[in-house]
């Protein structure tokens, strides 16, 4: 038997509903945008990440694809967060459904 060169460390298990396929991630981001808009909350990337559990890059990639495909609109605004002010996109669903 060969020697194991590196043994990983378990950080945490993912929840059962965690998106594993690219389309699942895109749908999770789309549904988060719908939910935030329905609840009259800001659909900014940080809030979308909190709902989906996806990382920054994955969330942004899915948002960019949704904007490019015409399913989501992005309008940029200055937003006051808890400790700072940022310029970011506020996403809203279009009439085009997935």
| Span 9-24, pLDDT tens digits | 777 777 776 666 668 8
- The per-residue pLDDT for 24 is 85
Can you tell me which residue has the tokens 């194991």? 4
How big, in percent rounded to 5, are the helix, strand and coil portions of the chain? 40, 20, 45
Gap between the terminal Cα atoms of the chain: 50
As a whole number, the mean pLDDT across the chain is 87
Q: At what angle do helices 45-52 and 22-38 cross, to 10 degrees?
A: 120
Asked whether the predicted pLDDT for residue 65 surpasses 90, the reply is yes
Q: In whole angstroms, what is the distance from residue 60 CA to residue 20 CA?
A: 16
Q: What is the pLDDT of residue 98?
A: 79
Please give the residue that has the higher pLDDT: either 64 or 17: 64
Confidence check: pLDDT of 1 > 60: no
| CATH number at 22-93 | 1.10.10
Q: What is the pLDDT of residue 28?
A: 92
């Amino acid at each position: 038997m060969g020697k194991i060169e590196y043994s990983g460390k378990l950080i945490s298990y993912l929840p059962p509903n965690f998106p594993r396929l690219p389309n699942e991630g895109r749908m999770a981001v789309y549904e988060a945008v719908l939910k935030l808009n329905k609840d009259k909350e800001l659909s900014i990337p940080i809030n979308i990440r909190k709902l989906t559990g996806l990382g920054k890059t994955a969330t942004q990639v899915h948002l960019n694809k949704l904007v490019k495909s015409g399913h989501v609109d992005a309008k940029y605004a200055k937003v006051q967060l808890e400790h700072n002010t940022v310029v970011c996109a506020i996403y809203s669903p279009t009439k085009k459904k997935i």
